[in-house]
């Protein structure tokens, strides 16, 4: 018979205490997510069955997960998935973990393009896991969505998520290359959306260790923000249809610079939007 110390309640308590000692934020939540995933149940079900004993193999695997988390490895990478918008995306260290603020960007676009039966061409640039483009395609079934990323591994993860979440690749093109370099020159889009690397390398020391030590630096950090983003603005123009729109998630410090630069390059309209925490995290730029 299993020891009562091996039940859900006690193992959660011990794991929470251990993670707190290691200065892991949200220790209790992480302990619950890791255990619920291991037992293949919803997190709320843990509270219904607190006395459930774990087998020796379950205990060993749970302990290994907690040790990984204690070393700041993100919970999403440990379980290999992350909820975003209304889907669950596969993730690994080759792609950024989808963020709640990026959900706000998706919601903003869907609000502005609210006609569900309309069709348009969209590009998810620097697509990573594909969470933005796939969420848009799931909500707007008539949209033709393409994806582009520099990383071959990211494109493969993107492809897996398309198959898993949308069950078809027919509507989707995936391109591997630096920004627009691998896209056919004749391609034009009504809408381009991007969450490109935008954290200046000078800010690396202030980034949380679970981000800085595990998430792909290629997708996070940029050596020269202004040069890189000016490239995006310039290279996007020929790929945008007249009145086409470019949406960017960005560093709040640079939202004003992005708007001014876009207008100087010939974009006809530039607005920024605050996220729920009040930061200017998004810009929308319209081609003339």
My answer on whether 90 and 215 are in the same domain is yes
Looking at the structure, tell me whether residues 41 and 157 fall in a common domain. no
- 205 and 271: one domain? yes
Q: Quickly state the pLDDT bin for 2 (edges 50, 70, 90).
A: very low
219 and 133: one domain?
yes
122 and 261 share one domain: yes
Confidence check: pLDDT of 65 > 90: yes
**In a domain? residue 269:** yes
Whether 221 and 103 map to the same domain: the answer is: yes
Same domain as 119, residue 258: yes
Is 210 annotated among the ligand-binding residues?
Answer: no
Name the residue range of residue 243's domain: 84-287
Where does the pLDDT of residue 4 fall: very low under 50, low under 70, confident under 90, or very high at 90 and above?
low
Domain count, the chain: 2
- 39 with 62: CB under 8 angstroms? no
Within-domain flag for 274? yes
Q: Please check whether residue 2 lies inside any domain of the structure.
A: no
Q: Are residues 201 and 254 in the same domain?
A: yes
The answer to whether 195 is a known ligand-binding residue is: yes
Mean pLDDT of 28-36: 95
User: 242 with 147, same domain?
Assistant: yes
149 annotated as a binding-site residue: yes
Q: For residue 77, tell me if it sits in a domain.
A: no
Residue 201 lies in a domain: yes
pLDDT of residue 3: 52
Does a structural domain hold residue 166?
yes
Q: Are residues 18 and 66 in the same domain?
A: yes
Whether residue 30 is found in the same domain as residue 124: no
Residue 148 lies in a domain: yes
Is the residue at 156 inside a domain?
A: yes
- Is 197 marked within a binding site? yes
Pair (52, 94) in one structural domain: no
Q: Is 47 annotated as a binding residue?
A: no
Could you report the per-residue pLDDT of 191-227, keeping only the tens digit for each? 999 999 888 888 888 888 888 888 888 888 888 999 9
Domain closes at, from 19, 48, 71: 71
Q: What is this structure's pTM?
A: 0.90
Domain harbouring 263, CATH code: 3.40.50.150
């Amino acid at each position: 018979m299993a020891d009562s110390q091996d039940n859900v309640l006690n193992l959660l308590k011990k794991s929470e205490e251990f993670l707190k000692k290691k200065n892991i934020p949200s220790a209790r939540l992480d302990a619950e997510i890791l255990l619920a995933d291991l037992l293949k149940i919803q997190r709320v079900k843990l509270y219904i069955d607190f006395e459930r004993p774990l087998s020796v193999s379950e205990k060993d695997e749970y302990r290994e997960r907690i040790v990984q988390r204690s070393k700041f490895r993100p919970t999403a990478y440990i379980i290999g998935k992350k909820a975003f918008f209304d889907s669950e995306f596969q993730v690994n260290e080759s792609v950024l973990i989808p963020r709640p603020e990026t959900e706000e960007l998706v919601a903003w676009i869907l609000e502005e393009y609210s006609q569900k039966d309309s069709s348009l061409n969209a590009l998810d640039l620097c697509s990573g896991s594909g969470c933005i483009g796939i969420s848009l395609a799931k909500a707007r079934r008539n949209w033709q969505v393409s994806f582009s990323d520099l990383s071959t591994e990211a494109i493969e993860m993107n492809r897996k998520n398309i198959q898993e979440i949308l069950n078809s690749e027919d509507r989707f093109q995936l391109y591997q290359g630096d920004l627009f370099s691998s896209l056919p020159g004749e391609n034009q889009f009504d809408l381009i959306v991007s969450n490109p690397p935008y954290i200046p390398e000078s800010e690396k020391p202030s980034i949380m260790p679970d981000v800085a030590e595990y998430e792909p630096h290629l997708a996070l950090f940029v050596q020269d923000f202004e040069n890189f983003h000016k490239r995006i603005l310039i290279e996007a123009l020929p790929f945008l249809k007249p009145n086409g729109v470019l949406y960017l998630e960005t560093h709040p410090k640079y939202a004003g610079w992005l708007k001014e630069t876009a207008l100087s390059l010939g974009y006809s309209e530039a607005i920024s939007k605050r996220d729920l925490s009040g930061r200017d995290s998004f810009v929308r730029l319209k081609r003339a």
